């Protein structure tokens, strides 16, 4: 299970998606009654933490290296990730220097540290193999994507308010955005590897929601069959096609659509319970709509 906001190429400047998500802390700050500029350091820290975590994740999963460290090896990537973590901490510490963010700085830094620790525990669970039940899947999805987006939203709002009820609403909103992104990212793991003909051959497929749903609801025979097929699908197109057949047969498409609709509704509810009506709230609504705006999803 990856956490991705579109920085896979390691080239921040060319990635359109970054501009979409980097504004999230500022929008939440504004929607809670603050000035979006108060969240500039927070947004910088959030993106740097993301970049560090994403890099570490790639090393841990032994993914295809990015171009810049392809020849240099994972050691240099690990070194860069460490630097990114410290840079993120420095950006976060900037909050303490300027009013009005300084009054919330200790609470925000504490919230980041506690939740990054939970993310690290989620990363550890990845080493124990793919989830086998939906309960395990949702726990991991929250511990990775959910918490990460909740950090941006809760702490963006924290710059404007200390009201626990309002902060909880922003935290839930961020969590739901992270879950939606995780599911959409999982769906990409169904598709053929670039240059390949058949879907179902990516190694990440075993961690994806459609697969874990199928494992959860199927009989032990089908579960065993699917786990075996997942082991050989990468090099065997016939096994990959059988994986897709079993996933389709289980009703996974309906389940995934259901969850996308349910979670997006939860996100809308959360933000309307917490945010002040206005332009920022509308933009946060639109961010959710943008995630589920395809014809079969709306």
Partner 1 sequence: MTLAQVVHQMSTDADFASQLYSNPEAALSKRGLKISKEELAFLLSSRHRVEQEKLDIVSLSNVTNGQWRA
Where do contacts with partner 1 occur on this chain (CB under 8 A)? 5-6, 15-17, 20, 134-135, 180-181, 184-185, 187-188, 190-191, 199, 210, 213, 216-218, 244, 247-258, 261-262, 265, 290-291, 293-297
Residue 115, both tokens: 């939740």
Cα separation, 258 vs 87, in Å, equals: 40
10/251 with CB nearer partner 1: 251
Q: Which is nearer to partner 1, 87 or 273 (CB)?
A: 273
Cβ atoms of 186 and 145 within 8 Å: the answer is no
Query: Would you say 78 or 134 has its CB closer to partner 1?
Result: 134
Question: Nearer to partner 1 by C-beta: 17 or 232?
Answer: 17
| Minimum distance of partner 1 from residue 248's CB (angstroms) | 5
CB-wise, 85 or 137, nearer to partner 1? 137
Q: Is 157 or 177 the residue whose CB approaches partner 1 more closely?
A: 177
Q: Which of residues 94 and 216 has its CB atom nearest to partner 1 in the complex?
A: 216
Q: What are phi and psi of 146, to 5 degrees?
A: -60, -50
Which residue, 191, 198, 126, 165, is CA-closest to 32?
165
DSSP per residue, 137-204: HHHHHIIIIIHHHHHHHHHHHHTT---HHHHHHHHHHHHHHHHHHHHHHHHHTTSPPTT-S-SS--GG
At 100 the three-state DSSP class reads coil
In whole angstroms, the minimum distance from the beta carbon of 238 to partner 1 comes to 16
Kindly state the DSSP code that residue 23 receives in the 8-state scheme.
Answer: T
Between CA 56 and CA 77 the distance in angstroms is: 8
Q: Smallest distance, Å, CB 199 to partner 1?
A: 5
Minimum Å gap between C-beta 67 and partner 1 is 19
Measuring CA to CA, which residue among 262, 260, 281, 259 is closest to residue 272? Answer: 281
Phi, psi of 23 (to 5 degrees): -80, -5
258 contacts: CB under 8 Å, gap ≥ 6: none
Shortest distance, CB of residue 179 to partner 1, whole angstroms? 12
Return all residues near 51 (Cβ < 8 A) that are at least 6 apart. Answer: 7, 12, 84
Residue nearer to partner 1 on the CB measure, 181 or 280 = 181
Q: Are 1 and 129 in contact (CB under 8 A)?
A: no
At its nearest, how many Å lie between partner 1 and the CB of residue 169?
Answer: 19
């Amino acid at each position: 299970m990856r956490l991705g906001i579109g920085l896979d190429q390691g080239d921040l400047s060319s990635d359109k998606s970054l501009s979409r998500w980097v504004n999230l802390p500022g929008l939440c700050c504004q929607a809670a009654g603050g000035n979006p500029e108060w969240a500039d350091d927070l947004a910088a820290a959030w993106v740097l933490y993301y970049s560090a975590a994403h890099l570490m994740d790639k090393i841990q999963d032994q993914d295809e290296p990015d171009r810049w460290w392809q020849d240099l090896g994972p050691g240099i990537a690990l070194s860069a990730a460490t630097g990114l973590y410290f840079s993120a901490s420095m950006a976060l510490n900037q909050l303490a220097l300027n009013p009005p963010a300084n009054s919330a700085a200790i609470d925000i830094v504490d919230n980041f540290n506690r939740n990054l620790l939970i993310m690290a525990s989620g990363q550890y669970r990845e080493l124990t193999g793919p989830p086998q039940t939906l309960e395990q899947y949702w726990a991991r999805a929250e511990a990775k994507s959910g918490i990460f987006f909740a950090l941006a939203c809760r702490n963006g709002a924290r710059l404007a308010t200390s009201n626990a009820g309002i902060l909880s609403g922003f935290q839930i909103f961020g969590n739901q955005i992270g879950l939606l992104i995780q599911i959409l990212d999982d769906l990409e793991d169904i598709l053929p590897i670039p240059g390949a003909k058949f879907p179902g051959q990516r190694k990440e497929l075993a961690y994806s929601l459609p697969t874990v749903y199928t494992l959860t609801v199927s009989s032990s025979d089908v579960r065993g069959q699917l786990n075996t097929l997942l082991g050989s699908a990468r090099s065997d197109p016939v096994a990959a096609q059988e994986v897709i057949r079993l996933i389709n047969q289980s009703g996974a498409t309906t389940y995934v659509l259901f969850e996308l609709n349910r979670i997006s509704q939860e996100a809308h509810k959360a933000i309307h319970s917490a945010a002040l009506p206005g332009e920022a709230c509308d933009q946060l609504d639109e961010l959710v709509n943008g995630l589920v705006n395809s014809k079969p999803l709306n």
